Amino acid sequence: MTGAVTGAHVRETNVQVVYRAIRQSHPVTRAQLARYLGMSKPTANRAIDDLLGAGLVEEVPRPKNAAGYDAVYFGPRAQAATVLALDLGSRFLRACVADLDGTVLARLDQPVSSNDPEHVLDVATALRDELVAATGAAPEIATIGIGGVIDPRTGIVHDANQDALEGFAARAELSAVLDLPVIAENDINLAAVGEGWRGAGLGVRNFAFLSIGSGVGAGLVLGGELHRGVNGAAGEIDHVPEGQRFRSDSPAADAFLAHVWQHSDFVTTEEVVAAARQRDECALHLVAWEAARIAEHAARITSVVDVSLIVLGGGIGLNGDLLAEPVRATLSGLSAYPPAVETSQLGEAAILTGAVATGLSSVLADLVTTRVSAAS
């Protein structure tokens, strides 16, 4: 048996529907909203008035190409709420505050001397305080990207990229020091979300973000949604057995460098990349070896989930001018249905962008209900 549908429920639903329509179609008038949604004008007007009273929408300038009478136009109030995004890497904790449009209001990158949880918590708190002071906005939620498998039930980090973070109760401990709800997510998963929201995966319902750097990982977007797996371990395609530093068939930096040192006098991956751009023959052969390893990993993903796009990212993967074409060529011989291959459009901002998108999705889920109720 379900509960009775009351007038309050109907009104709440109408307000939410109108808010979504304003976010999607602004600037818009009361009459346009009523026609678009098939609502009566009084119903649309009540919903708009509720949203105005809650500070969620505002009057906006009349469009220059608007025809007809001098109507009042409305749009969402982007400053009505903000989110805090965090990206914990091996050397930096990056952070930003963004509004409801996803516009970054302020960003700070702070070096971390270690990934010891206590130090991470201290740096995160300091960054939060500085960003709040800079923007004058108190975030509704924080989302952090961390290298490792994040248990979706507990928010605890397992198989961490940094040993000090193994077993870190990221969600609970960050929530306690930040005094905010916290979403803890695998960093490559967030990069995939970011590319799908505002990057190379925009409008693509099935794709993989393949990060190649100090490690290799994939973020999977299937049917337009991030796929985490039962334990949050989806995309962990380059697991290194205990006792080994790297897999010999991996495109990760350690494996690539081992191959580089065996076959050349180059010392760093940066040297190889720079020489390849100068068309150095040895460097080009090394890049071709790396591209083949990347293509093999991409083929494994494609054979299981049949995505239409692979987005390359990470410190090595972002060298798309050298890698994308040979990866495409090799992949076409490894897969019966090879996906397109593109380079990340967001670069090192992909994880933060995904953290912003994830935080906004959570906030917007109940923003209208809580704000309109508080204003009533």
pLDDT in tens, 122-134: 999 999 999 999 9
Decide if pLDDT at 5 tops 70: no
Per-residue pLDDT band at 4 (split at 50, 70, 90)? very low
pLDDT of residue 10: 85
Q: Tell me if 240 sits within 8 A of 246, measured CB to CB.
A: yes
Average pLDDT over every residue of 365-374: 94
Share of the chain above pLDDT 90, in %: 87
Average pLDDT over every residue of 317-346: 97
Long-range contacts at 95-98 (CB < 8 A, ≥ 24 apart): 95/124, 95/127, 95/128, 95/131, 95/352, 96/131, 96/352, 96/356, 97/131, 97/132, 97/134, 97/135, 97/137, 97/139, 98/356, 98/359, 98/360
Neighbouring C-beta atoms of residue 40, cutoff 10 Å: 10
> Over the stretch 91-138, which tens digit does the pLDDT of each residue have?
999 999 999 999 999 999 999 988 999 999 999 999 999 999 999 999
pLDDT of residue 225: 97
Query: In residues, how long is the chain?
Result: 376
Per-residue pLDDT band at 26 (split at 50, 70, 90)? very high
CA gap 184, 159 in Å, rounded: 14
Neighbouring C-beta atoms of residue 216, cutoff 10 Å: 28
Q: Tell me if 258 sits within 8 A of 211, measured CB to CB.
A: no
pLDDT of residue 68: 63
pLDDT of residue 70: 76
Q: Tell me if 231 sits within 8 A of 151, measured CB to CB.
A: yes
Share of the chain above pLDDT 70, in %: 97
Tell which residue, 187, 229, 240, 177, has the closest CA to residue 209. Answer: 187
pLDDT of residue 7: 67
Long-range contacts at 360-367 (CB < 8 A, ≥ 24 apart): 360/83, 360/98, 360/100, 360/102, 362/141, 362/143, 362/181, 362/183, 363/81, 363/83, 363/100, 363/140, 363/141, 364/100, 367/56, 367/80, 367/81, 367/140
Decide if pLDDT at 242 tops 80: no
Decide if pLDDT at 8 tops 80: no
Which residues have a Cβ under 8 Å from the Cβ of 44 and sit 6 or more positions away? 18, 30, 33, 34, 37
Question: 317 — phi, psi (to 5°)?
Answer: -60, -25
Q: Kind and range of the H or E element at 364?
A: helix 350-375
Q: What is the CA radius of gyration of the chain?
A: 24
Q: Kind and range of the H or E element at 217?
A: strand 216-222
Lowest mean pLDDT among 6-10, 74-78, 233-237: 6-10
Per-residue pLDDT band at 243 (split at 50, 70, 90)? low
Decide if pLDDT at 47 tops 90: yes
Amino acid 189 reads N
Tell which residue, 193, 184, 191, 189, has the closest CA to residue 315. Answer: 191
Per-residue pLDDT band at 238 (split at 50, 70, 90)? confident
Average pLDDT over every residue of 221-225: 97
Q: Tell me if 47 sits within 8 A of 94, measured CB to CB.
A: no
pLDDT of residue 249: 83
Decide if pLDDT at 175 tops 90: yes
Q: Residue 258 burial (CB < 10 Å; 0-12/13-18/19+)?
A: middle
Q: What is the value of pTM for the model shown?
A: 0.94
Decide if pLDDT at 3 tops 60: no
| Mean pLDDT across the chain | 94
pLDDT of residue 138: 95
Per-residue pLDDT band at 333 (split at 50, 70, 90)? very high
CA gap 102, 92 in Å, rounded: 22
CA gap 168, 175 in Å, rounded: 13
